[in-house]
A and B are shown apart, each in its own frame.
Chain A
């Protein structure tokens, strides 16, 4: 019964990829990585960039830790993990500075904060330390995607309702404003990100009763 024979996209592996999108979503269920998730969601563009950065960091560091998992003594594993993540984040940060400077300025410290984003440490600890590289890679992709779609959903509503734009393009027609429609200034303020996530959690749990707490 060697796992070698298992096809690359077996049902079990696909589940690793799809489960974090819904019922074990890193943000709404596992409560990981909220820190950076909320602050950048005022506009859609930085959120997409952050989601992609997290995806890259997470997939690579998951594979790296999974390859090293038998060599790293448990006592120093946190330092090793931090070093690997930090190296990846430095790479991402330099790439962003070179090719998307304005977004990198907007994200300010939040690129650096990917290092302490609990979602990455959490998945390294919980999954990559005990699994082979390929499943770890899929787990990383799945969790980062689950994180990303929440990020993008929150940013979508906040930008649409808060500034009437999407990706900096006007979507609410001028006629609406002439008729007295006003942007909801609340949506731009930081606290509304929490409320939007709260509502997403509400909807998700109302549809899936098994997730309801006590």
Chain B
């Protein structure tokens, strides 16, 4: 249990998707103009990460890893399908995004309308594929750890995008040098936020 809490906190603050790895930067920069839309996108990302990482964990464990196929028959024990990782993961993500979209539409129509166009766009959000690849690289021991890692990364991404959106709403009233307006200042603010987030690095978990 303690282990799970550690992974959760670590993936939110220390290994933050945006500030430590720059994953999901494209939608982060493009959608962070208002707090409302970025909250919607953030929630959708938490959703999708929370679903895809456990599924990809199973794929990795029972199909992709070297020798993973031995549960079918012992003769397959030395088959290594790990070179198929990318294509399998991206297929899972694309179909999961579609599925999540349909489920939300059916059971939470209000959330669905507020997310709008952002749901399908998540399929090409690097944070999602990045999360699955990190899960593979770090070799989480069981499904619980992988799920918690997915949720934590999602929450970290959510915090980052809502934070930058709030700052961008405020900064409209400031006098920014003309060439730096818009994209330039957003980059520099993200850098400064990243430096602030680095203060979490000292935490030993």
Contact = CB atoms under 8 A, between A and B. Distances in A.
Does chain A bind chain B? yes
Interface of A: 28, 31-39, 78-79, 82-83, 86-87, 89-90, 93-94, 108-109, 112-113, 115-118, 121, 189-195, 197-199, 201-206, 209, 211-214
A31 B186 CA distance: 12
Contacts of B91: 79, 82-83
Interface residues of B, number: 47
22 contacts: A33-B26, A34-B22, A34-B26, A34-B29, A35-B25, A35-B130, A78-B124, A82-B90, A82-B94, A82-B123, A82-B124, A117-B126, A118-B26, A118-B126, A190-B19, A192-B191, A201-B179, A201-B183, A201-B184, A205-B184, A211-B179, A212-B181
A148 to B, nearest CB: 17
Nearest to B89: A112
Q: Is the interface of A mostly helix, strand, loop or mixed?
A: helix
Contacts of B134: 109
A84 to B, nearest CB: 10
A180 to B, nearest CB: 25
A28 B183 contact: yes
Nearest to A119: B26
Contacts of B25: 34-35, 38
A213 B126 contact: no
A113 B130 contact: yes
B180 A205 contact: yes
Interface stretch (B52-60, B61-69, B79-87, B144-152): B79-87
Nearest to B17: A35
